[in-house]
Structure 1
């Protein structure tokens, strides 16, 4: 029931969270760095980079403390992308991102509002073509069961395991839900932890983890996709019957380090872009991974969400520029780079 007249392509069940930040050095002393609260909507921001706001969706539970500055940023991305639910009896969900040297901690500081497909019933976001969720394997099973309860709805499911539940004890629950997952995407550390593979991530270990996850049976008849997001190493994507492939990070050279400002939300941004890419390319998982790579390149260039401006090119065509650049220009750069390698 889409009152905008455009079927929703992608909806995320990820919670909208206001992130607070704390920066300490390796000796746990404050560094003096201060960041204002940031909204954690990188997945939707990445999708809007590639698709119209009317095609994507995310629920925003606004509490009585919702900052006007964040509201302006959401409105700038397109008001159609958000389903606002107001409750003046509670505060907005918040989390603390604590940095100690290069190590990042994450903890919720207010009660969470967990979302399931039932929260979409009766809204413009009901029954999208693709559904993204980030949660424990146990909660993923609940989400999948609600999808099956709605006759005739068979969305592409994009599952991002929540970091603190990527532990060996959760592997049996993950195995149970995998046949209902179209795209499984942990990051490298999470994949190794789930499978009890020791050591820091390397390309060899990531490839091993990806192969083992595929063997567990991702998707109906094992036809799903595994994408392991591996930071500066890039992303490794593989599926049944198709050899795994590395896609390098867009910013991956020493001269590119100046573009890597804040990696918070890079994984979400990658999956948002990949979901958009799956739609744009008609389901080509490899090409969609390129779109994910491009989207995350915009997320990490600044603290918070990328900046949108409208500009005219040399022949007068108006275009949307993100951080002063065009997404499809970056996509062409990445494609050309890969062609030279092959």
Structure 2
């Protein structure tokens, strides 16, 4: 790992307290609910990075409303106190959202006003000027964020942009094209990518590869080596960088019956994947393909349970804690072995 000055990864994703409600196919509540779970794409992203990086090298802003639960604060601190920048918001509630599941369909809506985070919020703080900057938003909001990044003299972070699902529609494509020149890594999931480009579903490897080529043609990281990483569930992830052949990276947990038992809840897996990928860039001298393996391992821990993965000490390697009782480095070695690396 290199780059000892300043944070290596910061996300602008929001912290959210999630509520869950489940309904049957007729729309009637089935009696299952989950209250006050830690959520938010930013939270999952920074934990994906935490699996590889020390807490003092990563970060996220946590806006604490007047109703912020103390138990949640303690859970967050268990991952490392240095990685969180808490901001008191005494005049508003902590951001909350409802995840409503009916069969395979998921609906998401905010229950409170959102407190958005911008580069200006971290400039001049311990999270200022990170080497990699991650955000999850619409293309229109991405324009505003990238404008603020350019305001900071001498700061040229690796920009990792994850479009929100609601904005992955053909009508948003013109604005997306305008922002891509300032983006280093664009990473929608497969359904989002095909929806943006008006390509047919369901996703197949061939059509995902076609989508990645189209995004590169739009001018990602103009003048640089921009990349597209399309997250594709059990198919893995497709990585294509300008001037290089595209490559597939297998998911850690495969579609086999034995592996399927490890897949409990995919909430946050894509966000965690990108945090892991960003961390991987620091170990691979910026090789996006190699870094994607780190992302796949981070996602593998995220989907093994409902809610966040559990961090515990590793007596054998104190600097490398275990997650869900296992070692990220061990899983990375296994994934590399499968890929013949």
Partner of 1:27: 26
Deviation string for 1:66-106 (max 9, x for gaps)? 11221111000111111100112110011111111111111
Partner of 1:323: 324
Partner of 1:156: 158
Q: How far apart, in 2, do the equivalents of 1:94 and 1:103 lie?
A: 20
1:257 to 2:257 alignment: no
What are structure 2's unaligned runs of at least 5 residues?
Answer: none
Shift of residue 219, structure 1, vs aligned partner = 0.7
Shift of residue 29, structure 1, vs aligned partner = 2.2
Partner of 1:192: 194
Partner of 1:301: 304
2:80 pairs with one of 63, 78, 81:
78
Deviation string for 1:7-64 (max 9, x for gaps)? 1111111111111111112222223323232212111111111100000010000001
Shift of residue 227, structure 1, vs aligned partner = 0.2
Please give the TM-score of this superposition, normalised by the length of structure 2: 0.95
Partner of 2:174: 172
Answer with 266-275 or 95-104: which moved more: 95-104
1:291 to 2:290 alignment: no
Runs (4 or more) in structure 1 with deviation over 6 Å come to none
Whether the 8 Å contact between 1:214 and 1:222 is mirrored in structure 2 is no
Whether the 8 Å contact between 1:97 and 1:105 is mirrored in structure 2 is yes
Whether the 8 Å contact between 2:191 and 2:201 is mirrored in structure 1 is no
Partner of 2:340: 339
Deviation string for 1:252-279 (max 9, x for gaps)? 1221111111110001000000000011
Partner of 1:217: 219
1:230 to 2:220 alignment: no
Deviation string for 1:107-150 (max 9, x for gaps)? 11110111111011221111111110111111111111111111
> What is the RMSD of the two structures over their aligned residues, measured on CA atoms?
1.5
SS in 1 for 2:35: coil
Deviation string for 1:213-238 (max 9, x for gaps)? 11111112252000000111111000
Q: How far apart, in 2, do the equivalents of 1:81 and 1:299 lie?
A: 18
SS in 2 for 1:221: coil
Partner of 2:276: 273
Deviation string for 1:292-322 (max 9, x for gaps)? 0000000111111111111324xx8775110
Partner of 2:148: 146
Please give the TM-score of this superposition, normalised by the length of structure 1: 0.95
What are structure 1's unaligned runs of at least 5 residues?
Answer: none
Q: How far apart, in 2, do the equivalents of 1:254 and 1:237 lie?
A: 26
